[in-house]
């Protein structure tokens, strides 16, 4: 049996924190959650490079040069890439794709304000190109969409933002009259922030010492609006494709900081888990959440495995089978390369990072998801182990 067609969506700046299937309490992603409900979700996938382009290149490279995943997929149709990232498009000749559609040169043609319709957004045009490709006569076995809109252009229609009850009132001028005891009394009033921002450029700043209490939440809603648009476009794409019952794979090539450690943006400040914890969801191979630590460099093997198992019911021998859920990940470690740190390593129990100023940080995993509590001074024994591994990598 030939493998089912595979639709891949890889996104720079995609954080699991904004997806319902990863436990988000402040955003809703019904289409993505539906894919996860019958699929496999990697709970602890860590990027091996914090540069999204480098991470993408690692994902498409073969771990075994004698048996490339491209060979299996290419036997059943073309492998096409549709991208709006110039750095990826410029490297097309060295990538394992048969054809490419590049949309990065459309930036100057777009409005510099949120779109009124999702069709006009950067991601919407990418999805439209995928639908147009699907109408062509020659069959495709893998259709790969890669975008950087989450790190470059927040143009989702703002009506898609998820707001709490009463948030609509904050968008209108307040008619409230405050009664003062006397004319000389001065009252401090905290300025109301809108529930979301109209900025099309993604935020990139360090939170001020006395930041407005709602500032991070407003940016989270604005980011969540982009993810909700992604969710709708995924549903539209799956409904529009003529390919027979394609599998879906959703993956991030980098994370995004939403207030963790005082930063809001992409690749800002010292390297932390929000930068390198990335989502990975594969449809029809579950339902299963894999709790084990995995590195992003395993991605080529996943593509190889999916091609080797055409039927959705044949998951018993896959690396993400129910049997794998019970296996220990002791001894596993993921080293993340970054120009913002001296050394960074994640193990099943710890995340250790040595910043460029030589300060050491240690966080308990998987409990401390956002690196809230640095326990480096409390566990010098663990720090010493990481230092020894750094000096003697061959012994790891």
Res. 189: pLDDT tops 80: no
Distance CA 30, CA 123 (A): 18
Res. 315: pLDDT tops 50: no
Give the Cβ contact number of residue 94 at 10 Å.
9
Higher per-residue pLDDT: 170 or 56: 56
Burial class (CB in 10 A: 0-12, 13-18, 19+), 84: buried
Residues 154-187 pLDDT 10s: 999 999 999 875 555 555 555 544 544 454 444 4
**pTM, 2 dp:** 0.91
pLDDT of res. 187:
40
pLDDT of res. 68:
82
Q: Mean pLDDT score of the chain, rounded to an integer? A: 88
Residues 241-289 pLDDT 10s: 987 789 999 999 999 999 999 999 999 999 999 999 999 999 988 888 9
Assign a CATH topology to domain 6-159+216-325: Alkaline Phosphatase, subunit A (3.40.720)
pLDDT of res. 379:
96
pLDDT of res. 275:
97
pLDDT of res. 250:
98
Ranges assigned E (strand) in 338-390: 341-346, 350-355, 360-364
Bridge partners for 352 per DSSP: 345, 362
Percent helix, strand and coil across the chain, each to the nearest 5: 35, 20, 45
Residue boundaries of the structural domains of the chain:
6-159+216-325, 334-395
What are the tokens at 285?
């191979």
Residues 4-37 pLDDT 10s: 899 999 999 999 999 999 999 999 999 999 999 9
């Amino acid at each position: 049996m030939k493998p089912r067609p595979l639709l891949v969506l890889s996104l720079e700046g995609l954080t699991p924190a904004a997806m319902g299937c990863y436990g988000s309490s402040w955003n809703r992603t019904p289409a993505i959650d539906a894919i996860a409900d019958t699929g496999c979700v990697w709970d602890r996938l860590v990027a091996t490079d914090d540069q999204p382009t480098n991470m993408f290149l690692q994902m498409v490279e073969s771990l075994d040069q004698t048996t490339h995943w491209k060979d299996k997929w290419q036997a059943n149709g073309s492998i096409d890439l549709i991208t709006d990232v110039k750095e990826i498009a410029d490297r097309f000749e060295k990538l394992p794709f048969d054809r490419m559609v590049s949309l990065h040169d459309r930036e100057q043609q777009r409005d510099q304000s949120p779109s009124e319709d999702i069709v006009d957004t950067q991601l919407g045009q990418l999805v439209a190109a995928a639908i147009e490709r699907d109408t062509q006569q020659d069959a495709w076995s893998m259709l790969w969409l890669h975008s950087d809109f989450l790190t470059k252009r927040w143009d989702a229609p703002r009506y898609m933002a998820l707001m709490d009850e009463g948030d609509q009132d904050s968008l209108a001028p307040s008619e409230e009259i405050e009664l003062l005891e006397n004319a000389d009394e001065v009252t401090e009033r905290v300025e109301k922030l809108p529930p979301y921002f109209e900025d099309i450029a993604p935020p990139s700043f360090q939170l001020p010492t006395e930041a407005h209490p709602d500032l991070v939440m407003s940016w989270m809603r604005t980011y969540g609006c982009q993810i909700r648009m992604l969710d709708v476009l995924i549903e539209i794409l799956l409904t529009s494709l003529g390919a027979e019952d394609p599998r879906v794979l959703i993956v991030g090539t980098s994370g995004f900081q939403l207030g963790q450690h005082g930063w809001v943006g992409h690749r800002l400040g010292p390297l932390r888990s929000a930068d390198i914890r990335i989502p990975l969801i594969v449809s029809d191979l579950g339902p299963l959440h894999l709790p084990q630590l995995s590195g992003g460099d395993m991605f080529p093997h996943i593509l190889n495995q999916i091609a080797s198992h055409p039927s959705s019911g044949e998951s018993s021998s896959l690396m993400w089978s129910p049997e794998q859920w019970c296996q220990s990940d002791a001894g596993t470690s993921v080293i993340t390369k970054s120009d913002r740190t001296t050394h960074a390593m994640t193990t099943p129990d710890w995340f250790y990072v040595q910043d460029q100023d030589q300060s050491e940080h240690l966080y308990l995993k998987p409990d401390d998801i956002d690196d809230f509590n640095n326990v480096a001074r409390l566990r010098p024994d663990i720090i010493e182990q990481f230092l020894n591994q750094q000096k003697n990598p061959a012994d790891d």
